Amino acid sequence: MEEHTWSTVLGLSGMLMLAVLMLPAAKRLNFPHTVLLAVAGIIMGLLEALAEGGRVYLISDFLQALHSLEITADMVLFVFLPALVFEAALALDVRRLLDDLGSILFLAVIGLLISTAVVGISLHTVSGVSLVVCLMLGAIVSATDPVAVVAIFKDVGAPKRLAILVEGESLFNDATAIVVFIILSGMVLETAAPSVLGGIGEFLRVFLGGVAVGLGLALVFVRIIRDLQKMPMVGRTLTISLAYLSFVVGEHYLHVSGVMAVVTAALVMGSRGRTVVAPHDWHNLHNMWEQLGFWANSIIFILVGLSVPKIMAGFGDREMSWLICLLIAAFAARAVIIFGLMPLLSRFNLAHAVSAAFKTVMFWGGLRGAVSLALALLVIENDAFAPEVRSFVGVLVTGFVLFTLFINAPTIGFVISFFKLDQLSATDTAVRDRALTLSLAQIGENIDEVAKEQDAADGVREQLTSEYRHRSQVAQRKVDSLRDLHPNDWILIGLGTVSAQERESYSEQFEAGFLRPEIYRIVTKQIDDISDDLKANGVTGYFDASQEALDFGWQFRLAMRLHRRFGLAGLLSKRVAERFETLTATKLALHEIDHKGIEKVLPLVGARAGAELHKIVQERLAATQRALNGLRLQYPEYAELLQMRYLERGALQLEANSYHQMLADAVTNSEKNYPTLIQNISDMLFIEKPFNYLRILLQ
């Protein structure tokens, strides 16, 4: 037992060290990191004789420790997959995902079923193996790997929408593949009777059941994290529990899709969790999950590489012909789905149109990895399957995964570059070059001041400052050469920056305790809508979305009707309170932007665009003030209470900042001296006091 323990520690620590050292190698070689990890695993798998011989001290022990860490299906499914899927889904922008949900679900469900059928029928025709077995193999190889794709897209700087499409497809695709595999494997083992209607019903039960499990658990965990938001370490730990509990409860106890449970839980946490966790704590949580994802990704690809020599030991000419058939069928099916069927969705307004460049990258970027190998291992490790079935599935799946890793993965960057998807637009280029010009000029001035303070020689000072002056002039000439950039484009650039400032202001208000989580959700959704309309329709879209944010929504109108007709005051008091807080938060954000934010943007966009930005922001500020004045006239007492709450919150924050500064300056040198009064006051200053008062007034 003792020897096994230290051997396991040696193997895991050695793998992590190897994975980290592969990162700079991958960047220098301009090669995908995951592929290098698989190569390293294969090489170490071929060195099994050295591990058994024990000729080289420590190295042979390390190789032997790696070989003792044999990868199993349960290890992939219950240890690595929840972490990989949760990390990938947590980083997804849910709003952007919903924009392309039609295309994503089509690819993940209908596309996978079509691919399964094409691959299964083709292999059955060529190999003569049972059709159900070939369909099961088709489902296995149709599961794309989000982790490998995400890593490559980050390296090449793929567009955000393209990343959302491919990542979203991969996440939902994995869940579909596992469900279809379970149904078909039951038919192969004759534990389930073949039935089309029964298969569809079972698929819906497992798929939607996983969504329900993930949604239910996520909402419970979000509520707990919200109540414990002053303990960020607890919140981070609970997200780990959520990822694994979702998978285990769904997969093991309720026999529904564990992957869909994890995906749903991560999406809910990513959307609602941001509004119950302070922004800096959310950033730390996201970094933690990136670290966990890196560890899981690194270990699994090395272990996969280690298992390749054993699985492919029986690979011959017959298997090569089957593999060629599999590759042709799989890529042909994907081409038909993406280039032939996806355009029909946009034609019938069922999904947004996808450009030819995006479709080409999606076609070539369907890499296979952890899920495909896990499903193959479920077959290989199960003695209930016939030996020829285990060999057939193991060899072909491994060969197909290796092809996508060593052929598709290294070349996806060239495909993206060919379509110039990794290049900046003229507007983005102008912003970059002008920002670079300003930065270099400022750096040159700072260096000159530092050199004078340090009494540096005039020649040294002049050499450094002239170098930065030259680089600034070169960048300025690039900006001046952009003749196709209209002056109004700088206004759009400025509005985009101002929208980002507004969102940041809401985050600061929320973190300081001025905004409840519900209000923070409302105002962030509003600014997201404004930003989206700005990108789609320019300044007109910005104004339209801003006005829509000020209008009374259907919920407010419904609450007013219920109050007038039935005397029900609860819903209306809630809506009025939300409107008061929303308008107040918007007013504070716009006031700050008008007085300080635009000044920061002026050097970037120029005086003309800056003057227009002031005009636009002041118009929004005036409209917000008019809406707020209307509510104040109708509910003056409540307005005073709410204003008092904001002032109390501000005083509390100033007091907290003062104590924090004293602690940082060592004026008070122990946390024991830090007063607990702040926490007590903070617990008392919720919105319930003015909210309840408003409810009494309405009744």
- Asked whether residue 529 falls in the same domain as residue 569, the answer is yes
Mean model confidence pLDDT for the chain: 80
Task: Among 29, 45, 68, identify where a domain stops.
Answer: 68
Q: Tell me: pLDDT of 151 over 90.
A: no
pLDDT of 666 reads 59
- Asked whether residue 443 falls in the same domain as residue 394, the answer is no
**What's the chain's length in residues?**
699
- Asked whether residue 191 falls in the same domain as residue 50, the answer is no
Q: How much is the pTM?
A: 0.79
* Cα distance between residue 566 and residue 515, in whole Å: 31
Q: What percent of the chain has pLDDT over 90?
A: 21
Q: Tell me: pLDDT of 86 over 60.
A: yes
- Among 112-116, 129-133, 279-283, 327-331, which stretch is predicted with the lowest mean pLDDT? 279-283
Find the domain containing 462 and state its range.
Answer: 426-471
By CB atoms closer than 10 A (0-12, 13-18, 19+), residue 212 is middle
What is the gyration radius of the CA atoms in the chain, in angstroms?
29
The string of DSSP letters for 217-239 reads HHHHHHHHHHHTTT-HHHHHHHH
Q: Tell me: pLDDT of 334 over 70.
A: yes
- Asked whether residue 464 falls in the same domain as residue 498, the answer is no
- Asked whether residue 411 falls in the same domain as residue 439, the answer is no
Are 293 and 87 spatial neighbours (Cβ–Cβ below 8 Å)?
yes
pLDDT of 254 reads 93
Segment 605-633, tens digit of pLDDT: 888 888 999 999 999 999 999 998 988 88
Q: Tell me: pLDDT of 436 over 60.
A: yes
pLDDT of 372 reads 85
- Asked whether residue 574 falls in the same domain as residue 673, the answer is yes
Q: How many domains, in total, are found in the chain?
A: 4
| Over residues 179-204, mean pLDDT | 79
Residue 600: inside a domain:
yes
Residue 481: inside a domain:
no
Segment 257-315, tens digit of pLDDT: 998 999 999 999 988 888 788 777 888 898 999 899 888 888 888 888 888 888 888 78
Q: Tell me: pLDDT of 353 over 80.
A: no
Q: Tell me: pLDDT of 216 over 70.
A: yes
pLDDT of 426 reads 64
Q: Tell me: pLDDT of 250 over 90.
A: yes
- Among 87-96, 215-224, 525-534, 649-658, which stretch is predicted with the lowest mean pLDDT? 649-658
Segment 382-425, tens digit of pLDDT: 888 999 999 999 999 999 988 988 888 888 878 878 887 767 66
| Over residues 569-576, mean pLDDT | 80
- Asked whether residue 118 falls in the same domain as residue 263, the answer is yes
Look at 614 and 687; give whichever has higher pLDDT. 614
Segment 573-603, tens digit of pLDDT: 788 888 888 998 999 999 999 988 898 888 7
Segment 639-686, tens digit of pLDDT: 777 667 666 766 666 666 676 666 666 555 555 555 454 444 444 444
Residue 434: inside a domain:
yes
pLDDT of 326 reads 94
- Asked whether residue 287 falls in the same domain as residue 395, the answer is yes
CB atoms under 10 Å from CB of 44, counted, come to: 22
CA of 439: how far to CAs of 442, 445, 623, in Å?
Answer: 5, 10, 36
- Asked whether residue 448 falls in the same domain as residue 404, the answer is no
pLDDT of 661 reads 67
Q: Tell me: pLDDT of 491 over 50.
A: yes
Helices 81-90 and 146-156: crossing angle in degrees, nearest 10, is: 40
Look at 492 and 478; give whichever has higher pLDDT. 492
CATH number at residue 136: 1.20.1530.20
- Asked whether residue 463 falls in the same domain as residue 409, the answer is no
- Asked whether residue 640 falls in the same domain as residue 562, the answer is yes
Q: Tell me: pLDDT of 687 over 60.
A: no
CA of 148: how far to CAs of 298, 367, 369, 401, in Å?
Answer: 11, 7, 7, 11
Residue 207: inside a domain:
yes
Q: Tell me: pLDDT of 345 over 90.
A: no
pLDDT of 682 reads 46
Token representation of residue 580: 């008061």
* Cα distance between residue 50 and residue 70, in whole Å: 17
Residue 676: inside a domain:
yes
DSSP state of 425: P
| Over residues 142-153, mean pLDDT | 67
By CB atoms closer than 10 A (0-12, 13-18, 19+), residue 464 is middle
Segment 496-529, tens digit of pLDDT: 889 989 998 998 888 777 787 888 888 988 998 8
Residue 99: inside a domain:
yes
| Over residues 43-67, mean pLDDT | 69
Residue 478: inside a domain:
no
658 CA to centre of own chain: 36
Residue 437: inside a domain:
yes
The string of DSSP letters for 373-408 reads HHHHHHHHT-TTS-HHHHHHHHHHHHHHHHHIIIII
pLDDT of 659 reads 64
| Over residues 228-249, mean pLDDT | 90
pLDDT of 613 reads 92
Q: Tell me: pLDDT of 463 over 90.
A: no
- Asked whether residue 564 falls in the same domain as residue 504, the answer is yes
